[in-house]
Amino acid sequence: MLKVLHHHVREGLFEGIKRANADEQVRAIVIIGEGKTFPCGADIREFHTHASVKEPVLTAVGHTIENSGKPVISAIHGTALGGGLEIALCCHYRIASENARIGFPEVLIGLLPGAEGTVRLPRLSGLAFAMDMIAFGKQVNAKDAFRHGILDKLCNGNILEEAKQFATKVIGQPLDSRRLSRLDVKDAANVDLLFEVALAQVKRKSRGQIAPIYCLKSVRNSVRMSFDKAVEEEQRLIMELMTGYQSTALQYSFFADRSAPKWRLPCGASVHNTKPSRIETAGVIGAGTMGSGIAVCLIRAGVPVILVEKNKKMLEKAMKTISGILDGSVKLNRMTSEQKEQCLAILKGTSTLDKLSNVDMVIEAVYENLELKREIFAQLDKVCKPSTLLCSNTSTLDIDKIASATNRPDKVAGTHFFAPAFIMKLMENVYGTKTSPATVATVMEFGRRLGKELEATKEEIKNIRLHLTVTFCTIDL
């Protein structure tokens, strides 16, 4: 059984393969993940620590698997990502559940697959597919993986039982033709043309990033060099990336993105013990740039919105602007014309706050004026039902001072979107001294539902920012 490929798992897998080969009663070996998934890659927390280079390293484990005298079958369910997929590529056979997914996401943290993934995958899938998959960190469903020769069988039943049955059919079969290090790369004759096509795509979609180009170079090396030499170059390239500033910044971002939603309040309430309410309808006050952008975020997530703007001409202009933004999404193939119409169907405009009497949440997005916001919140407190959350898009004003204008300070919070709201993923949720845990849970869950990367901060520290800069450069090919 396998989990994340930290040192102890690598060690157990390494020793397990050796013991299985020494046991005369064992005729075939199946590697399967424990729980819901095949290994989801290396333990990123081990990067830059002694554990990452402690023997056996992942390549040594892979060589032990590939050199096994008995057939080794990887049984993939859930996801096989990064180092997990590299382990599978070292096996003689790969089978997977029909709903499984595989991929090399290393490029997303500024790296490349560093345990021979860039050299092995092209020998199964061909260069074009490998370049596209590795350079953009794409996850591929099992059916596509099977179609491109990465998998030997798709399973729709119990993956372990099907793996055992598969193993009985391959016992005694020659293994040399199943060892990828001894195979040639598919479509090798077109390597230069395929590289140039992929490079043009990378320059367009991943402008200024080093890792995608290194990924392409390493895949190209799988043709231009012997297997061993290409692996040596892969190691050199990943070491350059690991010690570079882009990878350091992207790894910081990776951990920050995952830690931010795991909020905890001083009272002990947290994401783990507080249930959010479901927001079915929302109101947005202010039809300027921010209000219109926030409305787009909500309707794209399927949340019906009432947009309030007392200036009717400005309201009409905002409705046209929102329609234009959605038209842009259609042109970029990010939504269909039907989806655009569905979004517009759940957007209503009004010039009075009275229309917000039954919404579950209101997001105020007028300009930064404390007295104006307090006036609006006092009116909302009277108009809205008692359970409605009252939120402000303020970036600088005191949430407690805004909340004090209401009789429900426990249901007041800051929901600070970043402009343009329908593009920028960061969302800062700010809680005041009287904001309830349930309100915090609800606004955090709501932000997640909108696809935002969240940050929960206490009122007095909300204006402290950690600025992270990733600098891009050009490199030689």
Q: Which positions are catalytic?
A: 86, 106
Strand partners, 391: 363, 413
HSE, side-chain direction, 13 A CA sphere, residue 77: 21
Cα gap 162→451, rounded to integer Å: 37
Mapped onto helix, strand or coil, the DSSP state of residue 414 is: strand
Q: Minimal CA–CA distance to 72: which of 3, 13, 125?
A: 13
Q: Find tokens 């009985």 and name the residue.
A: 168
Q: Do residues 297 and 422 lie in contact, with contact meaning Cβ atoms separated by under 8 Å?
A: yes
Residues in Cβ contact with 230 at an 8 Å cutoff, skipping those fewer than 6 apart: 118, 119, 218, 221, 222, 224
Cα gap 171→165, rounded to integer Å: 11
CA 96 from chain centre, in angstroms, equals 22
Q: Which long-range contacts (CB under 8 A, 24 or more apart) does 171-174 make?
A: 171/27, 171/28, 171/70, 171/71, 173/71
Alpha helices for 272-353 (secondary structure H)? 289-300, 312-331, 337-345
Cα gap 88→74, rounded to integer Å: 6
